[in-house]
Amino acid sequence: MERLPVIQAGRFTCSRSSLRLRPFIQCIWQLAGDFRSSHDAFELMHPEGGWGFIFNLTEASVMLNGLPYRSAVLVSGPGLQSVKFAVHGKADLVGIRFVRGMAAGISGQSMSALVGFYGAESDSELRLGTCQIAQQLALTTDSCERVALLETWAEALFYRASCPDARLVEKLRVLEQNQYLCSVNAVAKWSALGSRQLERYFRQWVGLTPKQFIRLQRIRTVRRMLNHRQPTTERLTDIAYASGYYDQAHFNRDFRQMVGMTPGEYLCRACERNAR
């Protein structure tokens, strides 16, 4: 998820990986604190087409859209909707997020089969050593040591992993930079791939169709624009047009379906956060 938890009651850190692992690891984050009195607080975790893990090192409940997850290892797969993230209890969480298109090679499965959130009660299916790394993380409270442990674990996984087609990696980058100017047919043409072949590649390596990924990136751009605007209807209209939407109703519907609130509601929330 693009937005990581920064709930005020907790201590949150987010680290970039070592230079050699940046093509594979998007970030490593840590959240610790006492959330026993913050039942109404939540953060929005926005989809970005990636995949990763959340390691819960205490007995705290990780709440996703109001549902409790108490697994020591929580898989965070690709999705199309923002998720309300909260924590109940005294928490110590560590998360790792892989770069889009890279995780299918280590999982040995199509990303389309690993969407959403679910607890990894055992590692019998993924066989990635997640339970073992969770135990190692719990043995230290030092942030740097935890980052080093996760990097060593991830590097071993990627060492034996298959890699996506270079054309797909390039098109993911292009779509992230020019999402509202692209169409599926245009991407297929640039990739020298047929539309059906391109869709198979995306489902295998990203877990989404090209159309879904384009829509996701467009809404991602809208959110970033809203985070720097004041709550006026005129500017919401400007943002809709600037993002490639020529129908305000279509803009509102797409945003609500993916974020769970209207653009106006999101803007008010962003303004309140910026005012703190």
The per-residue pLDDT for range 45-59, each reduced to its tens digit, is 998 888 899 999 998
pLDDT for position 239: 86
Measure Cα distances from 164 to 105, 149, 209, 219 in Å: 7, 25, 15, 25
pLDDT at 7 over 80: no
pLDDT for position 28: 96
pLDDT for position 167: 63
pLDDT for position 93: 96
pTM over 0.75: yes
Please give the Cα distance from 241 to 167 (Å, whole number): 30
Average pLDDT over residues 104-133: 79
Angle, helices 166-178/184-191, rounded to nearest 10 degrees: 140
Strands (E), 77-178: 83-88, 90-98, 117-119
Please give the Cα distance from 191 to 233 (Å, whole number): 39
Q: Mean pLDDT for the chain?
A: 83
Angle, helices 195-205/210-226, rounded to nearest 10 degrees: 60
pLDDT digits (tens, 9 = 90+) for 207-223: 998 889 888 888 988 99
pLDDT at 38 over 70: no
pLDDT at 112 over 70: yes
Taking alpha carbons only, the member of 19, 57, 70 closest to residue 142 is 57
Taking alpha carbons only, the member of 89, 96, 71, 77 closest to residue 34 is 89
Here the tokens at position 213 are: 């990924």
pLDDT at 13 over 60: yes
With cut-offs at 50, 70 and 90, classify the pLDDT of residue 95.
very high
Here the tokens at position 184 are: 């599926």
Here the tokens at position 175 are: 């779509």
pLDDT for position 111: 87
pLDDT > 90: what percent of the chain? 34
Angle, helices 233-242/210-226, rounded to nearest 10 degrees: 150
The full set of domains in the chain, from first to last, is 10-159 (2.60.120.10), 166-274 (1.10.10.60)
Average pLDDT over residues 251-258: 94
Sign of CA dihedral 90, 52, 69, 258: positive
Here the tokens at position 226 are: 């809203």
pLDDT > 70: what percent of the chain? 82
pLDDT at 181 over 60: no
Considering 111-115, 145-149, 194-198, the range whose residues carry the highest mean pLDDT is: 145-149
pLDDT for position 166: 65
